[in-house]
Structure 1
Amino acid sequence: MADVPALLVYTRTTDYRHDSIPAGVAALRTLGGFGVDATEDPAAFEEPLDRYAAVVFLSTSGEVLTPPGRERLAAYVEAGGGFVGVHAAACTEDDWPYYGDLLGARFDRHPALQPGRAVIEDPGHPATRHLPPVWHFTDEWYDFRTNPRGRVRVLVRADESSYDGGGMGDDHPLAWCRDQGEGRVFYTALGHAAEAYADADFRAHLLGGITWAAR
């Protein structure tokens, strides 16, 4: 296993906790190609992160890092490390401006869990190339405080006409990627329900995003 690249999967929550976290960790362990170290201990970020191909914040919430951990994570990404945020990762580290810039946008609100349509904007990315042009999915369809377009490469947007309660209008990014220093960042707003992590298309979406971000 020494030659298998590893992910640090972080699931600490100090605010809302998603019941789907165990299913998410289990899915990441079985996607293939990566070893997984899963933790909720902020002390993990006070150790060197260089051995990880990427750090994954899986539905983290609230303030989850210590000041030294923040410094270590920022230095890791700036030097070429990969960062992946899944779903409630956008509800994390509100008191740390760098994190908002790193991720690309912060969570605002969401309507009820319901089926809807996601439109693939960039079918050439590893996170989307397997998906149909219109992807039918069930999720919370997160709204964000600001539209990240222009600062990120938008991969998927929500079709707000396909569900009730959307608040961003016709231009509603849902998954994207970006560069940060020498590192790469991938974020998907999907992944609320445990059932998502058994969905073949969503699993491939996650794996593609992680593979792209990982160094």
Structure 2
Amino acid sequence: MNRRQWLKTSGSALASLAAWPLRRTWAAARKPRVLYFTRSAGFEHPVVRRPESGLSHSERVLTEMGRRAGFEVVCTKDGRVFDEDLDRFDLIAFYTSGDLTRPNTRKNPPMTADGKRRLLEALHAGKGFVGFHAASDTFHSPGPRDQVQPPGERDPYIAMLGGEFLTHGAQQEASLIIASRFPGAGSLGCAEGISFTEEWYALKNFAPDLHVVLVQETQLMQGDCYRRPDYPCTWARMHGQGRVFYTSLGHREDVWTNPFFQTIVLGGLNWALGNVDYDIHPNLDRVAPEANQLRRAAT
């Protein structure tokens, strides 16, 4: 699909997604409320870095997406929010990095160990979760970074998310395969996939129950970390009763304003909020069967 065709089809899909009705019965006179948490204990990405006053680029974009789609976005970098009443929020979104229980140089209060526990319990009990880009570079599993950890040895947060950041190469144009008609993806009109420039994450520790939405096509990518079989870059799964959606996209400012990205994200948000249903049967073994191989087999 060429760029002009893609912008036309994805723009139409975005408009239709923004018009989706809110099917869940919410409290009277209250929009669904999304907590967007952007604290970084490691590298702070430019799209979540706030100027001296005001919100970051991604906070502004997500807030506007919420305004158009009918949900409220509450933005914070204060980890103490997880010690408060999480029932105020219908969904929690992360663009974070590092061990969030540790101090950082930006003096954003850290999450407490009890706050992390309360977050995971709330998600397991049914609260929705959406992770962007570096959300997979958060609370790393113990053990060698360049190896796949057995499911029982992964950090509980990573087990919830369904995958973990390994590394990344240089920004480049690369292709994604659309592997599902998941909300958003099924209305794009580009069944053969799409390519654009981004910082592409190499990922590992995939949960076996992933419903993969987008697959990273690695064959033509430049960099040692991509010399491996194709692997998921966007997926959905259940964590107990909670709906979890993650995309590794979102490093660049122009990706955040990209109609393809916004359509995929709005689909994930609406699904995780419970506004739409979809059969998220596990499809990892079918669409990316060698995803947990971190090196391409010699030929």
Q: Give TM-score, length-normalised by structure 2.
A: 0.67
Residue 68 in 1 paired to residue 126 in 2? Answer: no
Q: Residue in 2 aligned with 1:84?
A: 130
**8 Å Cα contact 1:149-1:173 kept in structure 2:** no
Cα distance between partner residues in 2 of 1:127 and 1:97: 30
Cα distance between partner residues in 2 of 1:168 and 1:40: 36
Instruction: After superposition, give the CA deviation of every residue in 1:93-129 in whole Å (9 maximum; x if it has no partner).
Output: 226811010111110011111111100000x211412
Cα distance between partner residues in 2 of 1:98 and 1:149: 12
**8 Å Cα contact 1:176-1:186 kept in structure 2:** yes
Cα distance between partner residues in 2 of 1:114 and 1:171: 16
**8 Å Cα contact 1:130-1:201 kept in structure 2:** no
Moved more, 7-16 or 92-101: 92-101
- Measured on the aligned residues, the alpha-carbon RMSD in Å equals 1.7
Q: For residue 2 of structure 1, report the CA deviation from its aligned partner.
A: 4.2
**8 Å Cα contact 1:48-1:72 kept in structure 2:** no
Cα distance between partner residues in 1 of 2:184 and 2:43: 27
Cα distance between partner residues in 2 of 1:151 and 1:142: 20
Q: Of the candidates 16, 19, 38, which is equivalent to residue 43 of structure 2? A: 16
Inter-CA distance 135–75: structure 2 relative to 1 (3 Å threshold): same
Residue 39 in 1 paired to residue 97 in 2? Answer: no
Cα distance between partner residues in 2 of 1:129 and 1:23: 27
Inter-CA distance 149–63: structure 2 relative to 1 (3 Å threshold): closer
Instruction: After superposition, give the CA deviation of every residue in 1:109-160 in whole Å (9 maximum; x if it has no partner).
Output: 11111111100000x21141233121112212211133x2622111110111
User: 1:170-181, aligned counterparts within 5 Å?
Assistant: 170-181=229-240
Q: Which amino acid aligns with 2:93?
A: V
Same amino acid, percent of matched pairs: 34
Cα distance between partner residues in 2 of 1:159 and 1:136: 10
Instruction: After superposition, give the CA deviation of every residue in 1:58-81 in whole Å (9 maximum; x if it has no partner).
Output: 2x0011131121121012111100
SS at match of 2:157: helix
User: 1:30-179, aligned counterparts within 5 Å?
Assistant: 30-31=64-65, 32-58=69-95, 60-64=96-100, 65-94=111-140, 97-122=155-180, 124-131=181-188, 132-133=190-191, 134-146=193-205, 148=206, 150-165=208-223, 166-167=225-226, 169-179=228-238
User: Tell me, which stretches of 5 or more residues in structure 1 are unaligned?
Assistant: none
**8 Å Cα contact 1:27-1:203 kept in structure 2:** no
Moved more, 6-15 or 48-57: 48-57
Question: Across the two proteins, how many residue pairs are aligned to each other?
Answer: 212
Structure of greater Rg: 2
Cα distance between partner residues in 2 of 1:42 and 1:168: 37
Cα distance between partner residues in 2 of 1:10 and 1:77: 15
Q: For residue 208 of structure 1, report the CA deviation from its aligned partner.
A: 0.8
Q: Which amino acid aligns with 1:103?
A: L
Cα distance between partner residues in 1 of 2:31 and 2:238: 24
Runs of 4+, deviation exceeding 4 Å = none
Q: Residue in 1 aligned with 2:9?
A: none
Q: Give TM-score, length-normalised by structure 1.
A: 0.93
Q: For residue 161 of structure 1, report the CA deviation from its aligned partner.
A: 2.2
Cα distance between partner residues in 2 of 1:25 and 1:168: 34
User: 1:182-201, aligned counterparts within 5 Å?
Assistant: 182-201=241-260
